[in-house]
């Protein structure tokens, strides 16, 4: 941990030395928010988000903050190790082409609904009819299942230190998660206005009491979105494995690792049962396996958690942005970013200035980010990108 700020109602524990003013102000807002338990934790990849910093962890007592989970509920990363070694560049290009044909990217969906057996079941004791937003989006969700989405979502083929090939997918809950997040944030804003909560609207931290009908419904619908995001990654990974089998048979796949980094869950910390909000943060309990992806062109890591209570048993979810999307498009040099990737012989997706929003230069240095959380996680496996498909 770099330092602790003690000037606010609750302490802010920081794992980064160079936090920008906007992100720090959001952390200060959280530290002064009523219902915060013990302190705020800010991970080394943190940057500004809606209401709460991305890369932030906050525990609350008997309330939930939809914006402290975010609009891509359940977003996360899954990865699979293979028995493959040394896939040549020509085969990689064929695999990349097949991925683009089989898995819809960006705003694209499947033309036909996917079988309902691939959709997650509602939480135990709940039916779809009990989940108003999920039930209204269920039909369209079947066309979005097994699709990557846009932004910083990606599919990568990677290689570890022993030359084994790994597959990695970063994706979330698509439009279902967005709709749930927006609906309950609107309800939270109305609740805060009607009950004069005292939380400034400008903080974007409207909340719902956990003992309210809306608060309970949000938790149930949020959990469905977490499960949908996991099912989405699972289906894409199965289709990616089929593609690998087609071009590289025989190959064996090890057990899939799947880690979400946008959610809220009940946990016990500092003597109390609280709701831990992780927004762009990965759980890192003692012995737990996690994934910290880099940007295209930089390493990703499989890590093991150390269970540090000061971070609420959490770590970073990636490298973290250092430039906003528009800022990256304005300021980064396209040819320089292409050269960085091509010098590493990476089959990449940087083709125009629009793609610069996800270029290496738009992100923090993953090695520095990892070094700043030695008290949170231990790296187990380093993965270098060979080929990248971006949403």
Is residue 54 within 8 A of residue 264, CB to CB? The reply is no
Q: What is the pLDDT of residues 44-60, one digit of tens each?
A: 999 999 999 999 999 99
User: In the predicted model, what is the mean pLDDT of the chain?
Assistant: 95
Q: What is the pLDDT of residues 177-199, one digit of tens each?
A: 999 999 999 999 999 999 988 89
Of 353, 270, 359, residue with least CA distance to 319: 359
Q: What is the pLDDT of residues 5-59, one digit of tens each?
A: 999 999 999 999 989 999 999 999 999 999 999 999 999 999 999 999 999 999 9
Instruction: Please state the φ and ψ torsions of residue 279, each to the nearest 5 degrees.
Output: -115, 100
Is residue 188 within 8 A of residue 66, CB to CB? The reply is yes
Q: Using 50, 70 and 90 to split pLDDT, how confident is the model at 1?
A: confident
Q: Is the pLDDT of residue 296 over 90?
A: no
Mean pLDDT of 361-385: 96
Alpha carbon separation from 86 to 82, 137, 157, 370, 386 (Å, rounded): 11, 43, 12, 27, 10
**pLDDT (0 to 100) of residue 196:** 87
Is residue 225 within 8 A of residue 237, CB to CB? The reply is no
Round to whole Å and give the CA distance between 290 and 348.
25
Q: What is the pLDDT of residues 102-146, one digit of tens each?
A: 999 999 999 999 999 999 999 888 999 999 999 999 999 999 999
How many residues appear in the chain?
A: 391
Of 390, 335, 372, residue with least CA distance to 1: 372
Q: Using 50, 70 and 90 to split pLDDT, how confident is the model at 297?
A: confident
CATH superfamily of 3-322+363-390: tRNA-splicing ligase RtcB (3.90.1860.10)
The residue from 109, 261, 317, 348 that is catalytic is 317
Q: Is the pLDDT of residue 79 over 90?
A: yes
Residue-range domain boundaries for the chain? 3-322+363-390
**pLDDT (0 to 100) of residue 354:** 87
**pLDDT (0 to 100) of residue 136:** 97
39 burial via Cβ count (<10 Å: 0-12, 13-18, 19+)? buried
Identify whether 37 is a catalytic site residue.
no
């Amino acid at each position: 941990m770099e330092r602790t700020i003690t000037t606010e109602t609750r302490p802010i524990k920081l794992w980064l030395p160079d936090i920008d003013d906007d992100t720090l102000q959001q952390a200060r807002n959280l530290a002064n928010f009523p219902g915060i338990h013990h302190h705020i934790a800010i991970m080394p990849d943190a940057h500004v988000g809606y209401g709460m910093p991305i890369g932030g962890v906050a525990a609350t007592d008997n309330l939930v903050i939809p914006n402290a989970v975010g609009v891509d509920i359940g977003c996360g990363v899954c990865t699979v190790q293979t028995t493959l070694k040394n896939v040549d560049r020509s085969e990689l290009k064929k695999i990349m082409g097949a991925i683009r044909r089989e898995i819809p990217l960006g705003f694209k969906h499947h033309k036909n609904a996917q079988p309902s057996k691939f959709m997650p079941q509602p939480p135990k004791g709940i039916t779809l009819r009990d989940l108003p937003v999920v039930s209204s989006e269920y039909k369209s969700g079947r066309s979005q299942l097994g699709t990557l989405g846009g932004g910083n979502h990606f599919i990568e083929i990677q290689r570890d230190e022993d030359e084994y090939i790994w597959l990695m997918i970063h994706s979330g809950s698509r439009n279902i998660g967005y709709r749930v997040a927006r609906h309950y944030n609107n309800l939270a804003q109305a609740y805060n206005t009607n009950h004069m909560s005292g939380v400034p609207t400008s903080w974007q931290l409207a909340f719902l009491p956990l003992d309210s009908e809306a608060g309970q419904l949000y938790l149930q619908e949020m959990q469905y979105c977490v499960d949908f995001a996991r099912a989405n990654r699972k289906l894409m990974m199965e289709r990616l494995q089929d593609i690998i089998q087609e071009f590289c048979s025989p190959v064996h796949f090890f057990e899939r690792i799947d880690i979400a980094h946008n959610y809220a869950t009940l946990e016990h910390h500092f003597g109390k049962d609280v709701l831990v909000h992780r927004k762009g943060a990965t759980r890192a309990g003692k012995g737990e396996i996690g994934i910290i992806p880099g940007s295209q062109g930089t390493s990703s890591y499989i890590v093991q958690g150390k269970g540090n209570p000061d971070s609420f048993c959490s770590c970073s979810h990636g490298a973290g942005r250092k430039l906003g999307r528009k800022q990256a498009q304005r300021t980064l040099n396209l040819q320089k970013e292409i050269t960085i990737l091509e010098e590493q012989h990476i089959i990449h997706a940087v083709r125009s200035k629009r793609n610069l929003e996800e270029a290496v230069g738009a992100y923090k240095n993953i090695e520095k980010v990892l070094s700043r959380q030695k008290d949170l996680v231990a790296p187990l496996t380093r993965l270098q990108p060979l080929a990248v498909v971006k949403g």
